[in-house]
C-alpha cells in the first residue's frame, strides 16, 4: 500500500478538491491580524500549553511525561449523545466536562494512589479498573470504554518493549519532532489516523502530533525543549477547532453540510465531509501561520517563531472560552479513536 500523504500535504490536497468546506482568504487575513496583535503575549508561546492542561502534573514531576502519554492515548471522543447528558468528573470541588473529564479522572486516580501513569500498571489493567478510573459523577459514562482500554494497554505494552517509559520510547527519535510522529505512528497502531480521499491515502495524525507537541510543552517548561522541526507539525484536526474556524470566518460550510450537522447527523470516520472538515482545518491554519509570519517580517522586520501547533494551543482554549457565542455553529460528530 502506498504511504499516505503527511498531514500538511493531506490538508492542501483536500482543500484543493473539497466540495462542502471552503477556506476563506478574508478569514485567514482576519485571524492572522488577530494573532499578530497577540504576538507578544504568552498565548502565542509554548507556555500556553500549561493553560490548556491545568490538571497536568508540574512539568518537573517524575510523572509528567507518562501523564502526557496516558492523556493523549485516551484523548478522543468526549462529546455527549445529548447536550443535556454530559459525562462529568469532579476534582477538588470543580466539575469538569469534555476532554477535561479525562484529565480530572487521571488526577483523581493519582490522588487515590492508583499508578495510572506507570506502564507496568496500565499495560495490564483490567477493563473494570479503567472503568473505575474514568467513572463519571452521573449516569452518563465516558464513551468508548472498551476502545480506551484496548488503546491504553496496547500503548503500555509498546512502552515496556522500549525502555519502560514514554521518555525512553520517544528518545529513539532523537530530538526531531517529525521523526517522533513517525515513530509513534509506526509502533502504536491506535495512532494511525489515516484514510482515503479522492483515491489518495491521506493522514491527519491528530493524536500523534499532539503527543509530540505536549512532550515539547513539558520539555520546554523544564528548560530542555531543544526539539527541531516543530514547524513540521500541523494543527490537530479535531471537532472543536473547526467550529472556531467557522465562527472566525476562516472556514465556510455549504448549506447542505450545515443542515446535516444541525440535524445531528453522525459522520463516520472517513466520510468525505468529515475528511474535508479536518483537511481544510489543517490547511487553513497553515495559511494563517504563513500570513502571520509575513506580517511579523513586514511590520517588525523580525523572524516569526509561531508554529501551527502554537496556533492550535491558542484556538482550542479560544473555542472553549467562546462556546456560548459559537453555539449556533454545529460541531461535527464522529465517534472514533482518532480525536
Give tens-digit pLDDT for 76-115: 999 998 888 899 999 999 999 999 999 999 999 999 999 9
pLDDT-based confidence at residue 191 (cuts at 50, 70, 90): very high
| Neighbour-count burial for 152-176, b at 16+ CB within 10 Å, e otherwise | bbebbebbeebebbbbebbeebebb
Give the position of cell 464522529: 334
- Cα–Cα dist 49/313, whole Å: 6
Split into its structural domains, the chain has a count of: 1
Asked if pLDDT for residue 48 goes beyond 70, the answer is no
Flag whether 67 is in a domain: yes
pLDDT-based confidence at residue 49 (cuts at 50, 70, 90): low
| pLDDT (mean) for 315-339 | 95
Flag whether 333 is in a domain: no
| pLDDT (mean) for 227-233 | 96
- Cα–Cα dist 62/207, whole Å: 22
Average pLDDT of the chain to the nearest whole number: 95
Record the cell numbers describing residue 124, joined without a space.
Answer: 495490564
Flag whether 310 is in a domain: yes
Asked if pLDDT for residue 44 goes beyond 90, the answer is no
Flag whether 336 is in a domain: no
| pLDDT (mean) for 184-207 | 98
| pLDDT (mean) for 115-121 | 98
**Catalytic center residues:** 238
Flag whether 328 is in a domain: no
pLDDT value for 83: 81
| pLDDT (mean) for 159-176 | 97
| pLDDT (mean) for 255-274 | 97
pLDDT value for 1: 75
* Domain coverage including residue 133: 7-321
| pLDDT (mean) for 162-189 | 97
Selection from 303, 288, 278, 220 nearest residue 250 by Cα? 288
DSSP β-bridge partners for residue 5:
202
Amino acid at each position: 500500500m502506498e504511504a499516505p500523504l503527511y498531514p500538511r500535504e493531506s490538508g492542501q490536497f483536500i482543500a484543493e478538491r473539497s466540495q462542502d468546506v471552503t477556506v476563506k482568504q478574508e478569514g485567514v487575513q482576519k485571524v492572522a491580524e488577530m494573532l499578530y496583535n497577540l504576538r507578544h503575549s504568552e498565548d502565542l508561546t509554548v507556555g500556553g500549553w500549561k493553560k490548556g492542561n491545568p490538571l497536568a502534573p508540574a512539568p518537573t514531576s517524575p510523572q509528567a511525561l507518562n501523564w502526557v502519554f496516558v492523556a493523549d492515548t485516551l484523548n478522543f471522543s468526549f462529546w455527549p449523545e445529548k447536550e443535556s447528558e454530559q459525562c462529568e468528573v469532579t476534582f477538588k470541588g470543580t466539575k469538569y466536562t469534555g476532554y477535561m473529564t479525562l484529565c480530572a479522572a487521571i488526577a483523581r486516580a493519582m490522588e487515590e494512589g492508583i499508578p495510572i501513569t506507570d506502564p507496568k500498571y496500565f499495560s495490564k489493567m483490567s477493563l473494570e479498573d479503567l472503568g473505575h478510573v474514568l467513572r463519571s459523577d452521573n449516569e452518563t459514562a465516558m464513551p468508548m470504554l472498551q476502545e480506551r482500554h484496548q488503546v491504553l494497554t496496547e500503548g503500555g505494552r509498546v512502552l515496556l518493549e522500549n525502555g519502560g517509559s514514554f521518555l525512553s520510547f520517544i528518545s529513539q527519535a532523537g530530538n526531531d519532532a517529525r521523526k517522533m510522529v513517525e515513530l509513534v505512528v509506526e509502533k502504536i497502531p491506535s495512532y494511525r489516523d489515516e484514510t482515503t480521499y479522492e483515491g489518495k491515502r491521506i493522514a491527519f495524525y491528530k493524536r500523534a502530533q499532539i503527543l509530540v507537541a505536549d512532550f515539547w510543552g513539558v520539555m520546554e517548561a523544564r528548560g530542555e525543549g531543544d526539539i527541531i522541526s516543530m514547524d513540521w507539525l500541523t494543527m490537530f484536526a479535531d471537532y472543536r477547532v473547526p467550529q472556531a474556524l467557522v465562527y472566525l470566518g476562516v472556514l465556510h460550510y455549504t448549506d447542505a453540510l450545515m443542515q446535516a450537522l444541525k440535524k445531528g447527523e453522525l459522520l463516520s470516520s472517513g466520510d468525505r465531509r468529515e475528511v474535508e472538515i479536518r483537511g481544510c482545518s489543517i490547511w487553513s491554519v497553515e495559511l494563517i501561520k504563513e500570513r502571520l509570519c509575513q506580517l511579523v517580517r513586514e511590520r517588525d522586520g523580525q523572524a516569526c517563531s509561531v508554529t501551527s501547533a502554537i496556533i492550535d494551543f491558542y484556538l482550542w482554549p479560544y473555542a472553549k472560552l467562546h462556546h456560548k457565542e459559537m453555539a449556533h455553529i454545529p460541531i461535527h460528530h464522529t465517534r472514533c479513536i482518532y480525536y
